[in-house]
Amino acid sequence: MIQWLKQSTTLWIATKMLFSNRRKILSTTGWISLVGLILGVASLVVSMAVISGFESTLQKNISDVSGHIQIYKMNSEPQSTESLIERIKNIEPDIENLSRFFVTEAVLAHKGKLSGVFLQGVDEEKIGEVLNLKSRIKAGDFGLKTTADGLPQILIGKGIAKDFGLKPGDELRLVVPINTDLDVSQFQRRIGHFRVAGVLDLGKYDYDQRWMFTSLHAAQDLAEIGSRYSGFLLKLRHPQSAREASMRLSHNLGHDFRVRDWRDINENLFEAVKIEKVVIFFVIFVIVVAAAFNVASSLYINVVRSYPEIGILKALGVSQKKLARIFSIQGVLLGGLGCTLGLVFGFILCFGFTILENQFSILPASVYKVDRIEVQLRGIDLLSIAVATLLICYLATWAPARKAAQMTAVEGLRHD
């Protein structure tokens, strides 16, 4: 109880001296130092929110289109699909849903233009439970059935639609190379006609430029593979555990299967984002460090101007340790004020970034892979910013606090 009273008294004296001398300490230079601290903290908030948002947006875009885990069958020998599904579910109980798929390369030919694309056939009955394609429809409808004129429906990325001038209802042709029975080094072409059902915003530049989706049956017919398929797309209850789940599946399924999780698809990019996040934090944190020492310099000037008050406290028997703590608390209070205002200003800037992003295309998708970022404010990032800011402000106050503690009562009263 006594210790608590001592701590409360120290905090009260520090606060009283700070606000009684607010005109002294928050002079022009003091305000400039505080503004610098606010801008530094706000810059950290925005940069961490944008990078975290980029990472989570990229993850969501990949898992929406490719699932959390992909299992490829390396052995083309026929196997019972039901027994294989049961085996996969027994290995990984975290699986929420799974669906068969088939993917092949093809050439899109339309109005004299050619382009290589990936055609993915998906199980139309289960695909909505594994992939999140329906919410990414930009134009047209989400349909994979055969139309009245006998053409299977197809969904295309918005990049393909723009480059080829395609819209819902248009007919397109896909050419798939197929091995001949006599010579595997020779190919024969197989042409398929499809009806565009909808245009997808797949959220990733290379997906929008090259990916197309149709029913599994239509893709199998085009490639003439019968009932065979490439593998399974898996959706997990906990997406963040995809890496561990994929390792378990790979180990237990053996060499006849290749297992990839959503992170494997862009492993280098995710690793680069992780490194850049740390680098950017420390680079921008230099602004906070400089601002914190500017606040400390204002506090040092305040020590000189507070000689009479220091002399009185010394005469009343306040120890050097407690006096140093008083001025350290003042520095932390100023740092806390700057940190709080910086966090608020950072939130405002994040909101402004979102508005600017929605109104204008400020991210070139060909460079950043995505053309839109969902800004994400993570609690761990905000806590790290606040703790680091307050810590550097506390360390920066050592010099002025030590100066105040070493002053004698006579020296302080002499300036009264």
Give the domain ranges of the chain: 2-61+269-414, 95-236
User: What is the amino acid identity at position 330?
Assistant: Q
Q: What is the pLDDT of residue 399?
A: 65
Candidates 361, 238, 314; CA nearest to 13 is 314
Q: What is the pLDDT of residue 360?
A: 73
Burial of 301 (0-12, 13-18, 19+ CB in 10 A): middle
* Beta strand extents in 130-186 (DSSP E only): 137-140, 153-157, 171-179
Burial 9-31 (b: 16+ CB within 10 A, else e): ebeebbeebbeeeeeebbeeebe
How confident is the prediction along the chain (416 residues), in pLDDT tens digits per residue? 444 434 555 655 556 555 555 444 555 566 777 888 888 899 999 989 988 888 888 888 888 888 899 999 887 666 678 888 888 989 988 899 999 999 999 999 888 788 899 999 998 888 888 888 888 899 988 888 888 888 999 999 999 999 999 999 999 999 888 766 555 556 678 888 999 999 998 888 888 999 999 999 999 998 888 888 899 999 998 888 888 999 999 889 888 899 999 888 777 778 888 888 888 888 888 888 887 777 767 666 666 555 566 656 656 566 666 666 766 777 777 778 888 999 999 999 998 888 887 777 666 666 666 777 888 888 888 898 888 888 887 777 776 666 655 655 445 445 45
Three-state DSSP state, 200: strand
Contacts of 261 (CB under 8 A, 6+ apart): 68, 69, 70, 242, 243, 245, 246
Q: What is the pLDDT of residue 213?
A: 94
CA 50 – CA 374 distance, rounded (Å)? 8
**pTM for this prediction:** 0.75
